[in-house]
């Protein structure tokens, strides 16, 4: 049953939990629905470069922890969602924009132009530029995953501290798929620490 908790409350209640109840299982169907909902996030030219590997096998969780600085939550969370960035996301441009036409979102001639523009722009971009784009877009979808998970009653913690090269090798990722983030999800076994924030005056300024 979906919660009707106001968004602001969910945002305030979401904390980075590092101790999980290892006996709690989350069904794959639930995780798939969570990820499907999260992909309403925006992305550059709607190329949706995010890819996900859901790791819910305890042995695999233990194995990836060998190159993830032995973080307790990797082995005790119900699952680890690896957020991957596909630097060849633009190859799906025609399929994406054809679907927009099918759904009545835009005329075919506009969709064709946008698809071709995406193929041209991203196809000529440097590897560094493409990597920056997929990292940015992965951040957008990851935040939605964490907020939606909290709405469902689960806790999460994002982890960027892992050996991405070893992870890619272990998971046999193709060269165009870049590991970006590991998200632990499950039920908290202990409350997270609170965390302060800089004052708004410290981080905001208006144009003169």
pLDDT (tens digit, 9 = 90+) per residue, 90-115? Answer: 999 999 999 999 999 999 999 999 99
Mind listing the pLDDT tens digit for each residue in 155-170?
999 999 999 999 999 9
DSSP string of 64-129, one letter each residue: HHTTTTT-HHHHHSSEEEEEEEETTGGGGHHHHHHHHHHTTSS-HHHHHHHHHHHHHHHHTS-HHH
pTM: 0.94
Report d(CA 172, CA 130) in Å as an integer: 21
pLDDT tens, residue order, the chain (208 aa): 455 579 999 999 999 999 999 999 999 999 999 999 999 999 999 999 999 999 999 999 999 999 999 999 999 999 999 999 999 999 999 999 999 999 999 999 999 999 999 999 999 999 999 999 999 999 999 999 999 999 999 999 999 999 999 999 999 999 999 999 999 999 999 999 989 999 999 999 999 8
Residues, the chain = 208
Residue 1 is predicted with a pLDDT of: 43
Q: Percent of the chain at pLDDT above 70?
A: 98
Residue 174 is predicted with a pLDDT of: 98
Residue 55 makes CB contacts below 8 A (sequence gap 6+) with: 61, 64, 79, 80, 81, 82
Note whether 198 and 204 are within 8 A (CB): no
**Beta partners for residue 124, in sequence order:** none
Residue 196 is predicted with a pLDDT of: 94
Residue 5 is predicted with a pLDDT of: 72
């Amino acid at each position: 049953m979906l919660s009707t908790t106001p968004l602001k409350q969910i945002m305030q209640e979401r904390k980075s939990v590092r101790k999980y109840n290892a006996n709690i299982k989350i069904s794959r169907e639930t995780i798939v629905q969570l990820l499907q909902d999260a992909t309403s996030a925006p992305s550059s030219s709607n190329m949706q470069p995010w890819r996900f590997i859901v790791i819910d096998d305890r042995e695999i969780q233990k194995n990836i922890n060998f190159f993830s600085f032995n973080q307790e939550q990797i082995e005790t969370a119900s699952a680890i969602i690896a957020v991957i960035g596909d630097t060849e996301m633009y190859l799906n441009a025609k399929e994406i924009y054809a679907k927009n036409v099918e759904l009545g979102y835009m005329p075919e001639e506009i969709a064709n132009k946008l698809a071709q523009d995406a193929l041209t722009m991203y196809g000529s971009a440097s590897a560094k530029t493409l990597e920056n784009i997929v990292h940015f877009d992965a951040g957008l979808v990851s935040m939605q995953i964490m907020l939606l998970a909290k709405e469902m009653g689960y806790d999460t913690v994002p982890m960027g501290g892992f050996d991405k090269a070893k992870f890619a090798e272990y998971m046999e990722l193709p060269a165009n798929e870049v590991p970006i983030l590991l998200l632990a999800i499950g039920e908290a076994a202990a409350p997270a620490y609170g965390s302060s924030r800089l004052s708004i005056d410290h981080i905001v300024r208006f144009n003169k």
